[in-house]
Amino acid sequence: MDWNIAAGRPVYVQLVEQMELALVNGTFPPGSKIPPVRELAAQAGVNPNTMQRALQELESRGLLQAQRTAGRTVTAEADALQQLRRKRAAALAADFLRQMKALGLDRSETEELLRRTAEGGTNDV
């Protein structure tokens, strides 16, 4: 898994967001075991305590389950992952629409831009 930690935002929040993305895009499929905390922390280049905090947050959201001797696994509940996927998609869409509005594009221009982009054509509005 590729990690991208940027300055200016709490590291554990970024870890949570990136792990959520890995859960919804299938990097870690439902029911699968995730790597140990120290391994994930080493991959991300962060302190294991910070990674532990991020994973505990994901547990509290019901996305990961901890077993004492078996480590952590991704929830097998497809509904929880689908709900997260929809939530993330809605947030991205809302952010995109805010940015288009800030650029001065109206609804029809934004729709046309999306249509052309989806068709692989020019992005000229």
CATH number for domain 11-76, candidates 2.60.120.10, 1.10.10.10, 2.60.120.260, 1.10.3720.10:
1.10.10.10
pLDDT at residue 1, rounded to an integer = 86
Percent of the chain with pLDDT over 90: 86
Each residue of 32-42: pLDDT tens digit? 999 999 999 99
**Helix, strand or coil, per DSSP, at residue 33:** strand
pLDDT at residue 116, rounded to an integer = 92
Block means of pLDDT (10 residues each) for the chain, 125 residues, are 93 97 93 96 97 97 90 92 93 95 95 91 62
17 in Cβ contact with 25 (< 8 Å): no
pTM of the model: 0.78
Each residue of 7-18: pLDDT tens digit? 999 999 999 999
Per domain, the residue ranges of the chain are 11-76, 79-118
